[in-house]
């Protein structure tokens, strides 16, 4: 069963209308038209993001052969969630426990979204959703108004929840407490705090991406992906999270495999037909070449801390180094939850 969370009550409406309106223009009009949706979405992640989760809902529906949209009923939304989870395409999404309630109360959900980007940062969590065909931001505004959100003075201002919202909505993710709408781009920006929305807006003015650009570019257009900053990868995936016996086994395996260096970025992604890849970036091209050899050895051996071996989880098709980026192409075993398995530690071949 999916865990449901009650929508967080907002204490007060902060005056962010002007900032939201100004920076949303940048979101609409700025950027490179040749960028992929993933590249555009990650560029909107806060500059201090440590973990970015990507779900291409349009691609997921196509992969599963499900023709859904704004008019889909709750049973169809449930079918999408169940099938997507079994295919390991939606396990990282922030909307899983909220999808049915969103469809019913907000008029959009994973059944009609193009994509979702969820970012976790030191300063707060942020959610960006691209509306699909059949849903306009005006429609979302009507729903927010009916639900009792405090309406901003401007269409692209900040909507905030108050006590009335709790009385009329079902359980949804707390990240829908504060919302900003971008009509031209068809975007819904949301967070459990006004700061979280502002973080997304501020990110457009920050030239430094939260995840190394080489990692993002190497992923192309996955259906599901988890991207980590270097610090997060070296913490969340560290063998220090394993018990002492597994730590000792890991140290021995690393010593036999060769030299390892800290990663500056990490990602695990799953695409169409279950094509999977792990991408790691390093400080220099020389370190990337060295680590390509080392990680290739570690990725086909035992998996201390997780149990069993990596060969039970996937086959390694190719390991390559391109500049400072190392890519490991994987063929997941049947019924393997690879994205969730390799995006939380300990993961030996991602060790720093």
Stretches where the chain sits below pLDDT 70 are 1-33, 162-170, 204-209
Please state the domain count of the chain: 2
Q: Does 156 share its domain with 48?
A: yes
In a domain, 9, yes or no: no
pTM equals 0.87
- According to DSSP, residue 20 is labeled H
Among 182, 203, 224, give the residue marking a domain's end: 203
Among 138, 168, 203, give the residue marking a domain's end: 203
In a domain, 75, yes or no: yes
Q: Does 224 share its domain with 120?
A: no
pLDDT of residue 261: 96
In a domain, 190, yes or no: yes
Q: Which of 127, 82, 124 is nearest to 106 (CA)?
A: 127
Based on C-alpha coordinates, what's the Rg of the chain? 21
In a domain, 41, yes or no: yes
Q: How far from 175 is each of 10, 12, 121, 201, 310, CA to CA, in Å?
A: 11, 16, 13, 15, 35
Q: Does 165 share its domain with 250?
A: no
Among 203, 238, 257, give the residue marking a domain's end: 203
Are the beta carbons of 290 and 322 closer than 8 angstroms?
A: no
Q: Does 173 share its domain with 267?
A: no
Q: Does 163 share its domain with 221?
A: no
Measured distance CA(61)–CA(89) in Å, rounded: 10
In a domain, 6, yes or no: no
Measured distance CA(9)–CA(100) in Å, rounded: 20
Q: Does 247 share its domain with 123?
A: no
pLDDT of residue 33: 57
Measured distance CA(315)–CA(329) in Å, rounded: 9
Q: Does 42 share its domain with 164?
A: yes
In a domain, 2, yes or no: no
In a domain, 1, yes or no: no
Q: Does 321 share its domain with 254?
A: yes
Q: Which residue range is the domain that position 115 belongs to?
A: 17-24+34-203
Q: Does 91 share its domain with 195?
A: yes
Q: Does 163 share its domain with 81?
A: yes
Q: Does 126 share its domain with 243?
A: no
Measured distance CA(52)–CA(115) in Å, rounded: 13
pLDDT of residue 210: 74
Long-range residue pairs from 240-246, CB within 8 A, at least 24 positions apart, any chain = 240/346, 241/305, 241/345, 241/346, 242/304, 242/305, 242/345, 242/346, 243/305, 246/304, 246/305, 246/346
Q: Does 174 share its domain with 45?
A: yes
In a domain, 208, yes or no: no
Listed in sequence order, the DSSP H helices in the chain are 17-29, 37-42, 57-64, 74-86, 99-105, 137-147, 163-168, 194-203, 213-218, 230-236, 244-257, 285-298, 338-342
């Amino acid at each position: 069963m999916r865990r449901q969370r009650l929508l967080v009550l907002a204490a007060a409406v902060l005056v962010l209308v002007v900032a939201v309106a100004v920076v949303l223009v940048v979101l609409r009009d700025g950027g490179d038209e040749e960028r992929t949706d993933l590249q555009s979405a990650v560029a909107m992640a806060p500059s201090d993001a440590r973990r970015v989760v990507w779900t291409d809902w349009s691609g997921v529906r196509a992969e599963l052969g499900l023709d859904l949209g704004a008019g889909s009923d709750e049973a169809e939304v449930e079918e999408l969630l169940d099938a997507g989870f079994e295919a390991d395409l939606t396990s990282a999404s922030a909307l899983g426990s909220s999808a049915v309630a969103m469809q019913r109360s907000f008029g959009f959900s994973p059944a009609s979204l193009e994509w979702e980007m969820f970012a976790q940062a030191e300063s707060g969590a942020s959610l960006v959703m691209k509306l699909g065909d059949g849903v306009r931001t005006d429609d979302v505004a009507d729903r927010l108004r009916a639900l009792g959100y405090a309406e901003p003075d401007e269409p692209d201002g900040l909507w905030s929840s108050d006590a009335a919202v709790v009385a009329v909505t079902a359980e949804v993710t707390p990240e829908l407490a504060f919302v900003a709408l971008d009509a031209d781009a068809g975007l819904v920006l949301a967070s459990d705090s006004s700061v979280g929305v502002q973080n997304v807006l501020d990110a457009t003015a920050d030239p430094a991406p939260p995840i190394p650009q080489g990692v993002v570019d190497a992923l192309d257009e996955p259906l599901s992906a988890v991207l980590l900053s270097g610090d997060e990868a070296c913490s969340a995936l560290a063998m220090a999270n394993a018990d002492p016996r597994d730590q000792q086994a890991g140290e021995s395996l690393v010593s036999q495999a060769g030299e390892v260096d800290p990663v500056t970025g990490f990602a695990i992604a799953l695409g169409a037909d279950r094509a999977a890849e792990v991408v790691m970036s390093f400080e220099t091209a020389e370190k990337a070449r060295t680590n390509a050899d080392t990680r290739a050895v570690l990725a086909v051996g035992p998996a201390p801390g997780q149990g069993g071996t990596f060969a039970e989880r996937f086959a390694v098709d190719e390991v390559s180094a391109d500049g400072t980026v190392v890519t490991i192409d994987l063929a997941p075993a049947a019924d393997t939850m690879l994205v969730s398995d390799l995006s939380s530690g300990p993961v030996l071949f991602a060790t720093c």
